Structures are given as structure tokens and as C-alpha cells.
Amino acid sequence: MNTKTIRLSAIALSVAALTACSGPQVRYGDSKAVETVNADYGSTDLQMIAEAMTRSLLQSKAISGSKDAPIVTLADVKNKTSEYIDTRVITDKIRTQLMKSGQVRFAVSISEMQNQTEELKRQNQSGLYKNSTIAKTGNMQGAQYRIEGSIASIVKNTKDVKDVYYVFNLNLINNESGLLEWADEKEIRKTATR
């Protein structure tokens, strides 16, 4: 009886050991799930900021009161925090949500101008394209508004507590008049304790 028990235990242990050695487990999670790994800037912050800003911007008079979908450009968000944040992801996410609403059209921003000019040059100046199909130089549409933003943070640490305060600002500026047509902010406070 004892021998049999020992044999079974050994087999079970071996199976368990083999399973453990087979590699890391991979599973898909909910991309919208709240992420609280640490107090640093994370995916939940990104989603909260983009959603709050998009909702507020679409309700602004400049956008909702416009007869036609106004043309805007989106400048990169300035990172004024002490940590590395890829702010391009924030602007891309806001832009995607605004585009999905159909209430705004986007002109190429300054960071996309290199590709735009190269394409125009290729079509207009290479002599390779049929004239009637060429995207002609001089017909780009100017943006009526530009969106600018920044993210800043205040971080406080003690031995056991880390408190992070983020504030994200976004402004909509009329390019012709220079007037600030809309502005809003999103505040986030995160506290991590040990």
C-alpha cells in the first residue's frame, strides 16, 4: 500500500514538474480593464484622458455648432512630467475617437508634412503620372483649428506611499483669429502603498 502511494505521488510530482517547465502561460485580458500594477502612467490613464477629452471637445460650441465638420490639426502633446510618456499615443487615440464621431476632419499635422510633401513631389514633379490623376500641388486644405495639449504631473513619495497627480490639458485654437475656442482638463490621482 505504501509503495503504491509513493509511486502515484512520484508520477503526480513528475507531471507537475513537467507542466511547470513547459514555459510561461499566455492569456488574453480585457484591454479596457483597470490596470493598477503601479502608480506610473498606464493604459487606464490613457483611456480615461482620451475619452474625457473627446467627449468634452465634441460638445464644444466650435465643433457641435459647426455646419460642416471643421478641419483641424493635432499637434503633439507636450510631456511636462518627469517620466517618459509616449504622448503621440495620446494624440492618436484622441484623433481616432474624434474621427469616428464624424464631426471633425483632420488635416495633416506638421509631423506628417514630410511624407505629404514627398508624395506631392513624386506625383507632380516626376513626370510619371497621368495629368488628370495627379494630386496637384497647391490644393491642400488649411485647418480651421488646431488642437494643442500638455500633460504634467506632481509626484510625492514617502517610505510606504507614492502619490501621483496627473493633469492633462487640451486646447482648441482658431488658426485665423488666434482665439482659444475651447479648453478642458482631466485630472488623475493615483496612490500606491506598500
| Interface contacts to another protein, rule CB under 8 A | 110-114, 117-118, 120-121, 124-125, 137-138
Shortest Cβ distance from residue 109 to another protein (Å)? 8
Say if CB 94 and CB 106 are below 8 A apart: no
Question: 3-class secondary structure for the chain?
Answer: CHHHHHHHHHHHHHHHHHHHHCCCCCCCCCCCCCCCCCCCCCHHHHHHHHHHHHHHHHHCHHHHCCCCCCEEEECCCEECCCCCCCHHHHHHHHHHHHHHHCCCEECCCHHHHHHHHHHHHHHHHCCCCCHHHCCCCCCCCCCCEEEEEEEEEEEEECCCEEEEEEEEEEEEEECCCCCEEEEEEEEEEEEEEC
Shortest Cβ distance from residue 117 to another protein (Å)? 5
Whichever of 29 and 178 has its CB closer to another protein, that residue is: 178
Q: Which candidate, 141, 124, 14, places its Cα nearest to that of 68?
A: 141
Whichever of 95 and 186 has its CB closer to another protein, that residue is: 95
Whichever of 49 and 77 has its CB closer to another protein, that residue is: 77
Shortest Cβ distance from residue 116 to another protein (Å)? 8
Whichever of 119 and 187 has its CB closer to another protein, that residue is: 119
Shortest Cβ distance from residue 120 to another protein (Å)? 6
Whichever of 96 and 114 has its CB closer to another protein, that residue is: 114
Shortest Cβ distance from residue 139 to another protein (Å)? 10
